[in-house]
Structure 1
Amino acid sequence: MKQSNRRKNREDTAFLYERLSRDDNLEGESYSISNQKKLLIKVAKEKGYTNLIHFSDDGISGVTMERPGFVAMIQELEEGHAAAVFVKDMSRLGRNYIEVGKLTEEFLPDHDIRLVAVSDNVDTAEGENELTPIRNLFNEWYARDISKKRRISNKIKGNAGEPMGQPPYGYIKDPDNPKRWIVDEEAATVVRRIYQMTLDGFGPEQIAAALERDSILTPISYWQTRGVNRPGKHKDAPPTKWNSSTITKILSLQEYCGDVLNFKTYSKSYKNKKRIENDHDNWVIFKDVHDPVVDRATWEKVQQKRGKIRKRKTNEGETNMFSGLLVCADCGHNLHYHFNQGNPDIKYFNCSNYKGNRGTCTSTHYIRVDFLEQVVLGEIRRLTKFANKYEDEFVKAVMGHSQQTLELDRQKKQKECNSLLARDKEIDRLFDRMYEDNVAGKISDERFSKMTKQYEDEQSGLAGRIKTLRAELDKESRQSVGTDMFIATVRKYTRARKLTPRMLNELIDHIEVHQAEKVNGVYVQKLTIHYNCIGSIEIPDISSLPEPDVLIQTRKGVAVSYSQAQMAG
């Protein structure tokens, strides 16, 4: 019965479609959804339609045809539920010349649907309007022009340090200044816990499981409880179901140091809104803009360890704090963790590439865990003693080169970089003024396009040199910051009595394990410890800083002693 009534009422039914995007707000109140509705109702009634049904899309660009209201209207039209479509003007249907052309030239005539575009004086019941295709073309050009100007505007804002994206989990926009982020303490506590657990040796999956056990809301669920609408896939998963990918993402965000990172993604054109990962060299970074959630030293330590804390398990699921830190000195492969089948208390590592296990390495590089613990703890104690008793010598050994020469070179590069950046910002200001003059009609579109090309070419040349200088400065800065961090961390463990996963993760990058060699009837095991930020360090031969004296009985009563491997010259 309902379907019969619909067919009967088709000739009295008109669909009224309203659309508004951010661009249309520039045109004033006349483009608002409410005013479009008033206009379309008035005209549709004047033309004899009594059953009026509205379809609207608010805040959606006309460049895309995948708009919820528009798609729903097309489906209803395909089912024959209306005889006419009313819009304020042709641009309401869309700003895609090809797609709107298909709609007006094929779809609507094929379904015997009348089209009325009020402001453009289009009414297909009164005959074909030859200007309609031209209007559709101009509507697309308008979208292209607006997109170009918005890109310039976004570039100006992004290069001025204004955050271009939404604040990450742990931050919210400042209610008094939406261009500034402030710490959301409840979420920030979770972020800090994730970083702390990473330094303690836990991997992303283990952290995700711990947060789920403690019923911590995921970022998406957390935002939803506070009425914040954020993009992303909203799956039908429990609100406390954390994924390791979410943990990994949180651990990668430099924004938690208080920095603003702009232009991390880009879109290929105004028609394709898909965001693409930008090359890291094209990012624009402003440091210490807002309060940090995680201090920079902690963030740097986590970045050093990411991808290196591989908690390989035995078949029984057991892990060890040295997993992921040991590499074969001969073939470079990781050492894998095992325990003795006959005596599970004996735990050891050997080369994962050993030919006896179908690899190519000629030696096992077998090393006991208890031996490792004694040696590494002894070396750390030796290092901290060196740092405290011979501070100047320690700093010199860590630096490895003349700090004064490095600083002079850094200042010279920074001065040149600042000069180039100043010119780059000056060009951005010129862009800004040109954009305003163009909108106001003081500069023609042709002149605007010519001047834009001229300045873009100059900025392109500047960008190449700035990129090179920044890479060199960042490298020197990371080395300097890393050195300072390492010195501070070493002093923190002056009174260490026990080796812990966090101590290993904060101090050691990796350890090269050499094959044990027989010397004077005793097997000597050589290790090369590579510390975070500085690599392996040569400690002077000082009587008060003896090497750890470790001698252990291994399998079948074989004695193994420790000897520090000499660094390559």
Structure 2
Amino acid sequence: FPVYPLSAKPLILLAFCRYRYHTSLFERPEFERMIQDVKNGLVERVIVKDLSRFGRNYILVGEYVELIFPKYDVQFVSVSENMDSEQGNLDMMPINNLVNEWYARDISKKQKASVKARGNNGKRLTTKPIFGYEFDPADHSAWIIDETAAAVIRMIFDMYVSGKGLSMIAKYLKEHEVPTPKVYASETAESDEPYNWSHSTLKSLLSKQEYCGDTVNFRTERISYKCKKIRSNPPEKWVIFKDTHPAIISRETYDKAQAIIGQKRKVFEERPKLSVPMFHDVLYCADCGKKLYIMRKNGKHINSDSYVCSTSRKNKALCTTHYIKEDELVKLLTADIHFYENYLIMDETALKNNIIRYIRIRQNENTAQYSERVKQIDVRLNEIPDVRKRLFEEKLNGAVSAEVFADIMTSLDDETNKLKAERSDCLLHIHSACDDAGGVEVFLARLKKYLHFDELTAEMIEDLVERIDVFEPEYPNPYTKVARIRICYIGVGDIRGMRE
């Protein structure tokens, strides 16, 4: 999709969708942005070269053309097939869509057959070498050892089979500033955590039989040509060809590592199944925005189920713990819900009007902020062409080298793209701002279901709460800790300001 401006109706959008049969058709970012603009009333007409460019999933294409577009009064035109929703000549569309999907399915089958034949004949199916190897310059299909990365692999295996755990290995690699495989593989990769090795990365490396010199095909497979999701195959489906490239570790070392992994997996599987935490999927860190992990009480060090910031658990330098006990959360949320219930019982109309009034004030403030940001972005976008012109003149005069010119132009391109994306987001927020009376009705209806409740339950939390942000606790004195949270309810968000 080309980037297109957001403006008031009417807007004619030429949507020539590029479709690749191996991708998930309707999960393209620009397509999703177009549909969002359709729902926001910013699009009057969608034009495609032909139906296959719009999509090859006949069910979803029919849903968009026959249900979604008419619902938002959007005209759909397919040029090649001479179809126009306003003229009502879409009778052949289901058949055309079905033929398009058959074509995609046939291509997918041929691709799978080709990949299967290559894999069964010993051809390596990976597109690039794994960490520890590189392509042989003389034979691009062969792998040779990358000694720098291979030294890291040997160290990881040696530490693991000698009894070191994944946490100890990750800590050692971080302290010695060893780049992660992702950072090492890309010279241009920028990361705030280039040495932050995770357990999953280490476990993946320790499980790769390729380090013994073997080729392992069909570890994974795509579920369907309609879906990008990849699933892992059981080992019995793997096809292994031994001694196809130089080995980094011995088979004895690899077998010892697999035995340790198997023992730990067995211990984990034998643990009793724990219940889903009461605040599952609603707790977030108020500072970094990441989810909070549960820490189960064990009777020795932790005497109550509690939650901590997931970022802090991985790297304490990036965020603080934001520690809070589940008992404290229950008390704070229970008291907050009881306040609105008592208000509802005393005067439902007053509660509804006050919430709507507060939401309007909040939306007006947000709209003003977004509008101001759009003005700032427009000023900068108008400045960039002049900067480009001056830079080009300086290059012609010899004041700027070709390398510096290319770097600055690239940074200006990146800045322009980011600013345009941010501008679109701001405009979406501005256009979507409205009096959310419907959301208030939803909130009050759900609140009525739990009048005079005795005990907070996971069902209530799921029904009422959208998210809870946990702040770092305050300490008025060395002996007192005050937990701080922000509760956002479904339909109305954070309405604590209404009570002030």
**TM-score of the pair, normalised by structure 2:** 0.48
**TM-score of the pair, normalised by structure 1:** 0.42
Rg: which structure is higher? 1
